[in-house]
Structure 1
Amino acid sequence: MKRILLWAAVVLISAAGGAWISLALTARSVRVHPFFQALPQDRAAVIAHRGGSGLWPENTLEAFRGALAIGSDVLEMDVHGTAEGEPVVIHDETVDRTTDGTGRVRSFTLKELQKLDAAHHWESLRDTGVVVPSLRQVFESFPREVLMVVEIKESNPALTDAVVDLVQEFRREETTLLGSFHQEVLQQVRTRDFRLATHLGQGEVIPFMAAAWFFSEGLYTPPGEALLVPPRSGLVPVATRRFVRAARNRGVFFAVWTVNDPDQMRRLLARGVQGIITDRPDLAVSAATDAGL
């Protein structure tokens, strides 16, 4: 019996060793995408979450213009589809929270949606013509050089295709990072156009984090170019020094969301994070400038 157990242990160890060797031989470097080369090289990037929803009506042209004016490096936005399938920039699946209307975004045509007041809950901007913009309008309103993170909120192949089509039409393949909480959306984007940058989905972050814990990040091939993660997930810390270092070792951009407290910003910057996703880009610009790299 002891001999059988010994042989079983040898077989298991050999198999595990073979698996590690196989991973080491097949692990590939992460490509250097132009999106990340365009970011500041002397400090962490400030990514205006929904355009800076703590300062302006979120996901509006007014917010995006304001975020750029105060020094944000990247505009982050969310996309849903209208009744006719037009990608529009809004976070929720309904219009209730951010406009003076009610109902699901997909129940409105673009024309109907843009009759709503997207600044209804901002007294100083109410009834001043602030609307829910289409993604086309956002691309038309800003030069191609403006970096954007576009999160596709729905698991809808037609919407994903429409977003990719717009990125291609406006020749923004080098300045747009597409993201989603839906793994199938990320996979569709990567299949549609290999030139597009994506972040890692949850199912891709977990094995990378596990590899980092064992100082084995070199054995893992990240399928995307960025990690956009919360500081912690429940009781589990995510943005640790080890994970940040592992990402840097593999050439993966590491940004943390959604951070609005200046002290927390400074702590994360001290760990080496490369981006702060925030509703308060004004505070983040100051913190990132002070911290440098």
Structure 2
Amino acid sequence: MTIILAHRGSAGTHPENTMESFVAAEQFGADGIELDVHLTLDGDIAVIHDTTVDRTTDGNGRVTDFTMEELKKFKANYHYKHFFKKTARIPSLKEVFEWMKGNNLICNIELKNNELPYEGLEEKVISLIKEYKYEKRIVISSFNHYSLVYIVNNWPEIETAPLYSDLLYKPWEYANSLNSKGIHPKLKSVSDTIIKTTMENGISVRPYTVNKERDIKRLLQINCSAIITDFPEKAVKLKRK
């Protein structure tokens, strides 16, 4: 049964990586959410995609140059303002975890430490996961595969999955080399055959970002482990059909 993961929440209909977007994903019946994390100036974990606040808020500058309190002052629905009237804010990972107490959603955390090293990001994220006892509900992904190996070596109970965007030869063997239980490939970099073979080799496949109806249907047809989509409502409806 294919799991539906809401990419940055229901990012196709709500301001991405905000509580509003995550709540919508849950209401639409998604099995889980995907989100991105950066470290703030005061060492908190902010849920936002880019290294800067420019694209998604009314502010500008690098995430790492603001405290969590300062980040909260920006409007995170800035570019959605025409059809999203409520002011959304940048949440902290702790806020998301608090909200998760009220549901059973899976949470895929993408560590955004492939551009900036963010010293101690892994420790902070794992420490929060342990505090909330979410070890079984979390998958950690990143384009920084060194970071994933570091997690596996120190906290083997946490599931990891490498993100990648180009063709990869025998991705199941690559995942095994990292001791990861899954892969998160860009949709165009995996064929149905590769998906099936990878799953037959015991590795979960969760492609991103699957938004077109024909692609969603195709992946549901081959029982792909999961899909990561901006439109969880559409994906859930197709899955129920």
CA contact 2:171–2:183 (8 Å) conserved in 1:
no
Q: SS in structure 1 opposite 2:240?
A: helix
Contact 1:244 1:272 in 2 (8 A): no
Deviation at 1:165, TM superposition (A): 0.9
Deviation at 1:200, TM superposition (A): 3.2
* 2:239 paired with 1:277: no
For 1:25, the equivalent position in structure 2 comes to none
TM-score scaled to structure 1, two decimals? Answer: 0.75
Which has the higher mean CA deviation after the structures are superposed, 241-250 or 279-288?
A: 241-250
Q: Offset at 1:227?
A: 1.6
Residue 15 of structure 1 corresponds to which residue in structure 2?
Answer: none
Structure 1 residue 242, shift from structure 2 partner: 2.3
Identity of aligned residues (%): 32
2:228 corresponds to 1:228: no
**CA offset digits 1:24-65 (Å, max 9, x no partner):** xxxxxxxxxxxxxxxxxxx31111000021110100111101
The answer to whether the 8 Å contact 1:48/1:67 transfers is yes
Match of 1:86 among 20, 34, 44: 44
The 8 Å contact of residues 52 and 62 in structure 2, kept in 1 or not, is answered as yes
Partner deviation per Cα, 1:116-173 (whole Å, 9 max, x = no partner): 11111222434x3411000011101122732100000013341121111111111111
Pair 227,116 (structure 1): closer, same or farther in 2 beyond 3 Å: same
> Is 1:190 matched up with 2:146?
no
Which one has a larger percent helix, Structure 1 or Structure 2? Answer: 1
Contact 1:208 1:222 in 2 (8 A): no
In 2, are the aligned partners of 1:200 and 1:225 still within 8 Å (CA)? no
Inter-partner Cα distance in structure 1 for 2:198 and 2:53: 37
1:90-109 correspondence to structure 2 within 5 Å: 90-109=48-67
Aligned residue pairs total: 235
Aligned twin of 1:206: 168
Task: Name which one, 1 or 2, has greater alpha-carbon Rg.
Answer: 1
**TM-score, normalisation: structure 2:** 0.90
- Superposition CA RMSD, Å: 2.2
* Equivalence for 1:152: 111
Q: Tell me, what secondary structure is at the counterpart of 2:79?
A: coil
Q: Which amino acid counterpart does residue 151 of structure 1 have in structure 2?
A: E
Q: Describe the SS at the equivalent of 1:100.
A: coil
Q: Structure 1 residue 222: deviation in Å?
A: 6.2
Which amino acid counterpart does residue 183 of structure 1 have in structure 2? H
Per-residue CA distance 1:84-123 (angstroms, 9 max, x = gap): 1211100000001111101100111011000111111222
Any idea what SS the aligned residue of 1:259 has? Answer: coil
| Paired residues of 1:229 and 1:256 also in contact (CA < 8 A) | yes
Deviates further, 170-179 or 245-254: 245-254
